[in-house]
Amino acid sequence: MVPSARLRRVASPAIPPSVRVRTETLDRFLSAVGEVILASSQLRTVASAGPTTDAGFAGGLDRMDRVVGELQRSALDLRTAPLLRVVETLPRLAREIAQRAGKQVEVELRGIELELDRAILDRLGDPLVHLLRNAVDHGIEPPEVRRAAGKPDAGRVVIDARREKDQVRITVVDDGAGIDLDAVRAKAIEGGVLQPALAEDLPPEEIASLVFRPGLSTAATVSDVSGRGVGMDAVRATIEALGGRVELETDRGRGTATTLIVPITAAVQRVLLVGLGPETVAVPIAKIERIFEVEAAQIERTGHDAFTLVDDEPVLVLELAAKLGLPTAPTGPRVTLALGEVRGERVALIVERLAGQQEIYVKPVSRLLAGVRALAGLTVLGDGSPVFLIDLNQLP
């Protein structure tokens, strides 16, 4: 009989009664709630900038803030859906892959009752399919190999979701063969990603992270390396576009764990406001490691690229205004840099001024600007000025 996958699901609370709401109706409601939140913020800004108001007016503003806060929480609840929506088909997928490969596998789902923003859920499906396919097809060994290694005939894949404050950690872990780091290192040297003299000194976690490099793995490599590499760059790009990150741990012969860390909601984000000439833009604060200043002479230019030393390592320097097509200001004796992450690499972004941190309600950009991939959303500040949210991974 052909081996198959068996589903184990931990008990979850009963789903309460619900009603159907047309998507466009919900979108209009959420848009209206966003306008109320922005209007409330603008009113508070105007009141604080004017002469001292009486206690009654100030108390009314406080009450309105509380009501608006509750309205915002209710609106965010309407945007959410259970993780079950995107993982319920994964056990069947595992069964199909196992049948083709002559393997046995158990799939366990945990925490699938957790709810996330629908906009995030809609984009989690493909990354989870990639990870499950890699785990079953390239991680789990055939029964006879597992038996020889002292493992049960059936491999095990666990998809575990847990909430941590305003984030959800979704881990796909298997008890298979793990990633062959020696093969990854050899492939990276062959592809020119690593210098042979430096490759031997890299710690295991940095070697494992190389599987996220696009095009690193090919079908000519050993199976677990080629499988792990195909699509992993797309997984990371998708998760980072959602304001999250990917973590990878592997133990040769014992298995691999890949964790997707994503925000609960895409509607409210904590951002850093930076000034670029007359414009102000917002950058997700989770993408910024730190802000610092350097002497302009410390930025060295080689051809079209610029670099500076950060923690004794060369880091690429990008002029954020130029990347966004905005006019750039002349460089002074000192330059302000925002050290962040762009497509998995540390990058120092030149910014002209800092305008503080703020929690913003993100609205989608208009259809006319939908083709500008670096624009991830739009908000309006308390003074009424519009500000675009920038997706650093989409910078040209």
Tens digits of per-residue pLDDT, 309-332? 988 889 999 999 888 888 887 777
Amino acid at 153: D
The whole domain housing 41 covers 23-79
Mean pLDDT of 63-74: 78
* Residue 85 sits in the same domain as residue 74: no
d(CA 232, CA 229): 5
Return the higher-pLDDT residue of 185 and 69.
185
Name which of 215-224, 245-254, 261-270 the model is least confident about: 215-224
Contact 132, 94 (CB under 8 A): yes
Report the mean per-residue pLDDT for the chain. 82
- Quick one: tokens of 316? 């690429």
* Residue 62 sits in the same domain as residue 87: no
- Quick one: tokens of 334? 């000192």
- If one counts the domains in the chain, the total is 3
Q: Say what the pTM is.
A: 0.69
- Does the structure show a pLDDT above 70 at 271? yes
* Residue 87 sits in the same domain as residue 197: yes
DSSP designation for 18: -
Amino acid at 38: L
Domain boundary among 247, 263, 279: 263
* Residue 235 sits in the same domain as residue 167: yes
For the chain, the 3-state helix, strand and coil shares in percent, each to the nearest 5, are 40, 30, 30
Amino acid at 369: L
- Does the structure show a pLDDT above 60 at 294? yes
Contact 341, 347 (CB under 8 A): yes
CB atoms within 10 A of CB 293: 10
d(CA 262, CA 168): 6
Is residue 8 included in any domain, yes or no?
A: no
* Residue 56 sits in the same domain as residue 91: no
